Every structure is written in structure tokens, then in C-alpha cells.
Amino acid sequence: MAGPLGERHRGDGPAFPLYVTEPARGAADFGLFLAARPLMLRLPPGDGHPVLVLPGLLASDTSTRTLRAVLRRLGYRVHGWRLGRNIGPTAQCVEGMRARIDDLSDRYGQPISLVGWSLGGIFARDLARRTPDSVRQVVTLGSPFRLVRHSQSRASKVFDRYSHLHVEHRTLPLEPDGCSLPVPSTSIYSRLDGIVHWQTCLDTPGKQCENIAVHASHLGLGHHPAALYALADRLAQPEGTWKPFKSPIYLRPMFPRPDVPSSATDAVAAA
């Protein structure tokens, strides 16, 4: 977007070529998933704890079906959000997610891992802050929780289209520096993201938070083999023994060195 002097902010949304090729690249990422399916058997097995998966903007549980199927085969008790299409923080969405957390916590009697794709990841981080005793960890996929300007997301106009239905309205930045979660958190992101500026997905690394970079499109993060491996590795950690992600040597090319900002604000400004 242009500033008052017509100058484009360097930290604005993804380049246009990345944006227009998102559908094709997302399909290509699914092709990679199909080709790698035999290797999915080597993913770290789960311990059976409950996992709740939240979809992105304008998406429903259908969009996370592949991801949930993979986690279910690994042994987790996986659940979709069951709230239809995600059009933002409507009353149905906000109340429904809280009820979903309460229901699953009562049913299993143990903390739940939250996996959120894009906007779903922002919701997952909110839930972790509101009900930390019910959340084991949070893993986000291309979630711009450090958004500073609306122009850093090419989905902002779509989100605003439904703002009259939203019961929660936030100011920017969404999460100022120092707002770490009370539970372990992992942000899986890609520099090739064509929907949100990748630096808006960066958390400030700490004792219980990290960033993992992969080579994927925004629409492919829910089924790209590298993202699924990282997700499975994070979920497989025994409760209370969280350690930063370290890929096996033979998989290092799939995981570029993650970006480590000195602060979220500085990182976006320097993008």
C-alpha cells in the first residue's frame, strides 16, 4: 500500500506473483503430500492426547480434513471446530470455541493441543490465554498474529467484509512485543506465503516459543510434508518436556534456517 507520499511500505503484503499463484502452489503442495504419503508412516507417533484443529478465514473443517486424518493415524484424538465457515470472531464463533474447549477438557480430563491455520491460529492463541489450564500447547500455520498494518495481509478486505458480524474488534498491532503465551507455542511459517507477510508470523523466541520455516504456500501449509513433519514432531513431545525443534540431518533441506527477529515490530519494519 502507498503511504502519504506514494511510497510503498517494505513490510506490506506478499508480492503479487506469490499472491496470484497461491491456488496453483497449494495444489502442488498437495501433490507433494500424495507423493510423500509412504513416508508419513515414519512421522513421530502420538500419545493419544486430544487435539483441536481450527481452520482459516472463509474455511471450514473440510479444509483441515487431510491434516486431521494424518494426526488421527498417528494416534491422536483429533477434533474439528464444528462451527461451519470461519468468517471471523462472530458471537457463534467466540462462544462456540469456548464451549468446544470446555467440552473437550471435561471429556478427556487433560489439556488439549491447539492447531490453528491462519486466522485459526490467532483464535488458538486467544484460547490459550483465556484458558491456559486447558491448553497443552499451540501450533500455528501461517498465522499473522504479529500483524502491524492491515496491508500486510491480502485477506484483510475479506475479513473486513464480515466485520459487522464480529463481536470482538482489535487494534493493531494484534500482539505487541512481549505478549508471549503461557503455554508452549510453535509458529510454522513460509517466506513463500502469498496471503500474509511472513514476518507477521514470527514470534519472539523464548523458553517455550519458536518459529519453524518451511518452503510452502499459505494454502498448502495444512498438507505440505515439511509442515506436517514439524507439527507431528511438536505434538509428540511428552507433556512438560518441551524443547525447540531440531530436524534430522537428512531433512535439513526441507527446513530453512528460521528467522529470529530482535522484536516483532523491528522485524516487520526491516522487512
Encode pLDDT of 53-109 as tens digits. Answer: 999 999 999 999 999 999 999 999 999 999 999 999 999 999 999 999 999 999 999
Kindly state whether residue 10 falls inside one of the protein's structural domains: no
Kindly state whether residue 53 falls inside one of the protein's structural domains: yes
- What predicted TM-score, i.e. pTM, was given to this entire model? 0.92
Q: For residue 106, what is the enclosing H or E element?
A: helix 91-108
pLDDT band at 258 (very low <50, low <70, confident <90, very high): confident
Kindly state whether residue 1 falls inside one of the protein's structural domains: no
Query: Domain residues for 122?
Result: 16-234+242-269
Residue 206's pLDDT is what? 87
Question: How many domains, in total, are found in the chain?
Answer: 1
Q: Across all residues in the chain, what is the average pLDDT? A: 91
Which of 26, 95, 84, 25 minimizes the C-alpha distance to 57?
Answer: 84
Residue 244's pLDDT is what? 95
Task: Say which DSSP state 155 is in.
Answer: T
pLDDT band at 260 (very low <50, low <70, confident <90, very high): low
Residue 4's pLDDT is what? 31
pLDDT band at 5 (very low <50, low <70, confident <90, very high): very low
Residue 231's pLDDT is what? 98
Among 3-12, 79-88, 176-185, 240-249, which range has the highest average pLDDT? 79-88
Any idea which of 192-196, 227-231, 264-268 has the lowest mean pLDDT? 264-268
The answer to whether 67 and 43 are in contact (CB under 8 A) is no
State yes or no: pLDDT of 2 exceeds 50. no
- Cα–Cα–Cα angle for 151, 153, 155, nearest 5°? 115
The Cα 194–Cα 109 span in angstroms is 39
Kindly state whether residue 257 falls inside one of the protein's structural domains: yes
Any idea which of 6-10, 16-20, 81-85, 125-129 has the lowest mean pLDDT? 6-10
Kindly state whether residue 8 falls inside one of the protein's structural domains: no
The answer to whether 220 and 206 are in contact (CB under 8 A) is no
Kindly state whether residue 57 falls inside one of the protein's structural domains: yes
CATH value at residue 195: 3.40.50.1820
Kindly state whether residue 214 falls inside one of the protein's structural domains: yes
Mean pLDDT to the nearest integer, 206-213: 94
pLDDT band at 8 (very low <50, low <70, confident <90, very high): very low
Which tens digits make up the pLDDT trace of 132-186?
999 999 999 999 999 999 999 999 999 999 999 999 998 898 987 667 899 999 9
Kindly state whether residue 79 falls inside one of the protein's structural domains: yes
Residue 205's pLDDT is what? 85
Residue 176's pLDDT is what? 73
Ordered DSSP codes for 184-226:
-EEEEE-TT-SSB-GGGG----BTTEEEEE-S--TTTTTT-HH
Residue 265's pLDDT is what? 43
